[in-house]
């Protein structure tokens, strides 16, 4: 299963939203006032939970998931290349780590914005609806 995620805030912190593409289905959601980095993490959590819901419990254990995000910080923290220094991100990292355990394999890849257009569009649509 291939996932694309994006999170963004207008202002940092500011009004924030997530955008996710999971198995070809698109989701965008306003998440309140927060930072860009927290929004990126919340998008990944949403995507992994949505993947579990779409697959069902038995298929989840057999499924390999490729998670694509344009946040280098998010991907490098999830891959253990960067430390998590901001306290608000630590519980979110743990939640993602625990969600990973439900799948056969989860990989996190950094992609450039051009490859993440749909997830980015979902973020902006959710923010525009909120305005």
Domain boundaries, the chain: 2-130
Q: pTM for the full model?
A: 0.97
Which CATH superfamily is 2-130 part of? Ribonuclease H-like superfamily/Ribonuclease H (3.30.420.10)
- Residue 27 CA to residue 131 CA, distance in Å, equals 18
Could you tell me whether strands 64-69 and 2-9 are parallel, antiparallel, or unpaired per DSSP bridges?
parallel
Could you tell me whether strands 105-110 and 14-22 are parallel, antiparallel, or unpaired per DSSP bridges?
unpaired
**pLDDT per 10-residue tile (average), the chain, 131 residues:** 98 96 96 97 98 96 98 98 95 98 98 96 96 74
Question: What local confidence, expressed as pLDDT, does residue 6 receive?
Answer: 98
Residue 11 falls in which region: left (phi positive, over 0), alpha (psi -120 to 50) or beta: left
Question: What local confidence, expressed as pLDDT, does residue 82 receive?
Answer: 97
Find the largest Cα–Cα distance for the chain. 41
Question: What local confidence, expressed as pLDDT, does residue 131 receive?
Answer: 74
Structure letter (DSSP) for residue 11: S
Question: What local confidence, expressed as pLDDT, does residue 79 receive?
Answer: 98
The DSSP element (H or E) to which 84 belongs, if any, is none
């Amino acid at each position: 299963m291939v996932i694309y995620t994006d999170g963004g805030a207008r202002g940092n912190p500011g009004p924030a939203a997530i955008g996710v593409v999971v198995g070809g289905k698109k989701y965008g959601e306003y998440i309140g006032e927060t930072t860009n980095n927290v929004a990126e993490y919340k998008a990944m959590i949403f995507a992994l939970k949505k993947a579990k819901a779409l697959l069902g419990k038995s298929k989840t254990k057999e499924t390999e998931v490729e998670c694509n995000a344009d946040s280098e910080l998010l991907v490098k923290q999830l891959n253990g290349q960067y430390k998590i220094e901001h306290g608000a991100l630590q519980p979110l990292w743990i939640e993602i780590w625990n969600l990973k355990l439900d799948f056969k394999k989860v990989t996190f890849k950094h992609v450039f914005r051009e490859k993440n257009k749909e997830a980015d569009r979902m973020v902006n649509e959710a923010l525009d609806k909120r305005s």
